[in-house]
A and B are shown apart, each in its own frame.
Chain A
Amino acid sequence: MTLPPGRTSAPRPSGGQPLPGLSGLDDRTLVAHVSEGDGRALEVLYARYGRACYSLAKRILVDEQLAQDCVQEVFLTIWRDSSRFDPTKGGFSTWLLSMTHHKAVDAVRREETQRKRRAAPDALELEESDGPAVEDEVWSTLRGERVRAALQSLPEPQRHALTLAYFGGYTQREIAGITKTPLGTVKTRMLAGMQRMKLGLDSLSRASTSSEIDDIQRGLAGGAS
């Protein structure tokens, strides 16, 4: 599928059709609409990022209901307080997924039983999506593969520290206990792991605006066609 230039692919909202007019707007403009009280702009943002948010929340929380609650809380926060998004501190997707992660980790820490089931590092190994990569998921699938490859390229101690923290919701002290390493070593591994991930993902990390993602998407679409 060839994406129209200058537009971000907008997956269909769950159970609905793409909203004309708004779906071509960039994230910052949509947030401005949300701040004006336009619920349809919120729906477009959900269509654009709801799946990524839900996937992350479910990965951390495991429980579907908890993941739904988390996503609901995220989007209601956007609705009620869109002014919390500061475009000078990064793109909207970064802010949104950071908030999703934070809320999911808060929830998983409240749900201790969920975490205990996932204490073993190998329980946090990242499996690929089972479903076929449909046309409008090409970008997300390719990006996921690239990110997983970057994660796999990390030394095992660094990868475990990152995945236990990011997907398991463990604190540094808890990770030190799980891995039986000093707290200082865990901190060092996390920093080193993050730095290596950043190097490996440089082109994707800079794509914090829709226009940049569009460029990458067009490049991928051109290569895939």
Chain B
Amino acid sequence: MTSPHDDHSRWSELVSGYALSALEPEDEADLLQHLTSCARCTRELVAARDVLAQLAYAAPLVEPPPGLFDRIRAEVEASSPGAFDEPVPVAPPAAPLSLDEARDRRATRRGPATRWLSVAAGVALAAVVALGAWNVSLQRDRDRQGDISAALQSAVSTLESAPGQTVPLASAKTGRVGALAVVHSDRISLVVDGMRPNDASSTTYVLWGQDGTGAPYGVAAFDVDTDGIDVIRDLALPLAGTGPKVPERLMVTQEQGRAIPASPLTPVLMAGRPA
């Protein structure tokens, strides 16, 4: 009878072979199936890959030919114009929509239309975006912003509220303006266009503020129910000293859970700067 130890030696051998890309197809198929249910082998594979990453440095160091990254850059720019700070094209505007044609949701339906206090720190996660990264992103906001779609402009124009400042929030990746923040002295409303609806049981969109080069702070959490035009009204601005303060920069991320984390844990989806 084969002992459990013998069985696992066989798998450990396959893990080594797999890390080395040296398995025959049938062995690889067996191991991949096994890995779906064996945490031990998964840990061994991680350890084996760490060893082999060091082995890579046993090869003589050779400088890549000049121009190799230029080829990579050309490929990147072919599929993602503007990736290296070049102007990006924008999609043609959609047909104008009135606000009656869009869903108008009050923030109170999902929860209090007040600022959600940030979760206490102690979340021992390595920050996905360090403070330096936030500051680097600042200078890209204006470089990347495309035109505002007619749909968004039309939706904002029909908002019944006191005049406020309209702030385009543009995609960090494409420059497309995906939302307009209507900023008043004490509150912000968001008109979004084409944001992916989130699973309201497990994720939330978060509107962040940032002043200068300081750390981002949570302004409000919100949900998106439709991938068309959606309106989130009356998100309270954070209080600072004498009263509500309009952040110098606004950003949107989508976070796991239903609370605003102490700092953004996922890449910025959109950003913009009030004047």
Contacts and interface: CB of A to CB of B under 8 A. Distances in A.
15 contacts: A21-B135, A22-B136, A28-B128, A29-B130, A39-B80, A51-B64, A76-B76, A140-B57, A140-B61, A171-B22, A172-B23, A187-B13, A191-B9, A198-B48, A204-B54
A52 B57 contact: yes
B50 interface: yes
Contacts, number: 229
B84 A39 contact: yes
B174 interface: yes
**Most B CB within 10 A of own CB, among A38, A46, A175, A193:** A38
Given A39-B83, A40-B85, A56-B56, A173 B24 contact: yes
A190 B71 CA distance: 37
A14 B68 contact: yes
Nearest to A195: B16
A14 B12 contact: no
A179 interface: no
B167 to A, nearest CB: 19
B100 to A, nearest CB: 35
B60 A130 contact: yes
Nearest to B125: A87
A205 B54 contact: yes
Interface in A148-176: 148, 151, 162, 165-167, 169-173, 175
B144 to A, nearest CB: 8
Nearest to B25: A171
A79 B76 contact: yes
A56 B59 contact: yes
B53 interface: yes
Of the four ranges (under 10, 10 to 19, 20 to 34, 35 or more), the interface on chain B belongs to 35 or more
Interface in A87-119: 87, 89-91, 93-95, 97-98, 100-102, 105-106
Main secondary structure of the interface of B (DSSP, over half): helix
A197 B64 contact: no
Given A21-B136, A39-B77, A54-B62, 8 more contacts: A32-B129, A36-B172, A36-B267, A42-B72, A76-B75, A80-B79, A127-B60, A198-B48
A198 B51 contact: yes
B58 A126 contact: yes
Nearest to B82: A37
A205 B57 contact: no
A32 B84 CA distance: 15
B66 A15 contact: yes
**Most A CB within 10 A of own CB, among B48, B59, B63:** B59
Nearest to B47: A198
Given A87-B126, A140-B57, A194 B19 contact: yes
